[in-house]
């Protein structure tokens, strides 16, 4: 299936030196499991300001604000792309934003304090949305997930947030996180129970995997590749579960 290429919406801003002065902890961590996004005056103002322009931009692509959303992030290039489901349920690329900053290098997060940003398959429910973050707006990725726990990996408060500075999280510009937040909140308000967020070191092409075949993380990265390939082939977000401590990728139900 021929897919449209994502369109980058913002210029890349490199902010790594200043990042070391900040921690990734939010001011208030939203309680996971609640059914609705907990709003603040700031987040309400953001949604009000962003809704009309996003609705119009989506309509130009034949898409709708409030339809299900899927987020895919790569470290190299440092980019987050939002996909939105069309009327047939196929996810189409809507908009891409550069990641302003993330700490560490290619490879998964293994331990609290290692300054690595995570890689793998995560899911964001309404209770993980934090409108009171010190970093403008934030959502908790839910690290460690079941796979991370099976591997003995530790860490906490791993976020995608604004303010363009971070240690261990993925930092966006405030403008970018406002658009991402509005897309996610609208989808949740229309019934999406959680937004899948898949994080890869790089696009999972055969050429890239071969280029990194000698890396100590190569086996882990190969375990991520089937989910990338399944989405590229079908436009449907695959089901990812953990079986015997390993990721297992199933066709979308």
**Do the Cβ atoms of 220 and 72 come closer than 8 Å?**
no
DSSP reduced 3-state for 119: coil
> Cα 251 vs. chain centroid, distance in angstroms?
20
Give a yes or no: residue 8 inside a domain: no
Residue 151 vs residues 55, 145, 148, 242, 247: alpha-carbon distances, Å: 41, 10, 5, 11, 11
Give the single-character DSSP code of 117.
P
Reply yes or no on whether 100 is catalytic: no
Where do the DSSP E strands lie in 55-152? 69-74, 79-85, 91-98, 101-102, 120-124, 129-130, 138-140
Tokens of 24: 């990734």
Give the single-character DSSP code of 167.
S
- pLDDT band for position 27 (cuts 50, 70, 90): very low
Give a yes or no: residue 12 inside a domain: no
Catalytic residue among 24, 100, 164, 169: 169
The number of domains in the chain is 1
Average pLDDT of the segment spanning 13-22:
34
The pLDDT value recorded for residue 34 is 58
Tokens of 43: 């987040």
- 155-214 pLDDT tens trace: 999 999 999 987 789 999 999 999 999 999 999 999 999 999 999 999 999 999 999 999
Whole-angstrom distance, CA of residue 159 vs CA of residue 222: 24
Give a yes or no: residue 133 inside a domain: yes
- 62-108 pLDDT tens trace: 999 999 999 999 999 999 999 999 999 999 999 999 999 998 999 99
Residue 5 has pLDDT above 90, yes or no: no
Q: Which domain holds residue 192?
A: 18-250
Instruction: Name the residue among 66, 71, 89, 81 with its Cα closest to residue 187.
Output: 66
Average pLDDT of the segment spanning 9-37:
42
Give a yes or no: residue 6 inside a domain: no
Instruction: Name the residue among 140, 148, 180, 155 with its Cα closest to residue 34.
Output: 140
Give a yes or no: residue 230 inside a domain: yes
Give a yes or no: residue 179 inside a domain: yes
- 111-168 pLDDT tens trace: 999 999 999 999 999 999 999 999 999 999 999 999 999 999 999 999 999 999 877 8
Cα pseudo-dihedral 25, 141, 128, 61, rounded to 10 = 120
Catalytic residue among 24, 136, 161, 164: 161
The pLDDT value recorded for residue 1 is 44
- 215-243 pLDDT tens trace: 999 999 999 999 999 999 999 999 999 99
Residue 41 has pLDDT above 60, yes or no: yes
Reply yes or no on whether 161 is catalytic: yes
pTM beyond cutoff 0.85: yes
Instruction: Name the residue among 27, 7, 14 with its Cα closest to residue 157.
Output: 27
Buried b (16+ CB within 10 A) or exposed e, 213-251: eeeeeeebbeebbbbbebbeeebbbbebebeeeebebee
Residue 22 has pLDDT above 70, yes or no: no
The CATH number covering residue 75 comes to: 2.40.440.10
Give a yes or no: residue 13 inside a domain: no
Tokens of 146: 């079941």
Give a yes or no: residue 10 inside a domain: no
Tokens of 40: 């603040």
């Amino acid at each position: 299936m021929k897919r449209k290429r994502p369109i980058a919406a913002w210029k890349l801003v490199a902010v790594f030196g200043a990042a070391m002065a900040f921690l990734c902890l939010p001011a208030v961590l939203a309680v996971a499991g609640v059914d609705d996004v907990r709003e603040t005056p700031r987040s309400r103002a953001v949604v009000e300001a962003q809704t009309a322009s996003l609705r119009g931009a989506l309509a130009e692509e034949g898409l709708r604000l409030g339809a299900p959303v899927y987020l895919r992030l790569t470290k190299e290039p440092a980019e987050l792309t939002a996909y939105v489901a069309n009327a047939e349920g196929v996810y189409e690329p809507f908009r891409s934003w550069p990641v302003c900053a993330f700490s560490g290098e290619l490879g998964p997060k293994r331990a609290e304090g290692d300054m690595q940003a995570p890689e793998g398959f995560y899911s964001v429910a309404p209770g993980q949305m934090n409108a009171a973050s010190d970093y403008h707006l934030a959502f908790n990725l839910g690290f460690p997930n079941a796979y991370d726990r099976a591997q003995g990996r530790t860490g906490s408060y791993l976020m995608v947030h604004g303010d363009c500075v971070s240690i261990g999280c993925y930092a966006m510009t405030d403008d970018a996180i406002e658009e991402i937040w509005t897309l996610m909140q609208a989808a949740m308000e229309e019934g999406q129970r959680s937004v899948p967020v898949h994080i890869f070191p790089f696009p999972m092409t055969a050429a890239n995997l071969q280029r990194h075949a000698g890396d100590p993380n190569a086996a882990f990265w190969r375990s991520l590749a089937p989910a990338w390939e399944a989405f590229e082939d079908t436009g449907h977000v695959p089901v990812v579960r953990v079986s015997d401590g390993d990721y297992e990728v199933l066709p979308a139900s």
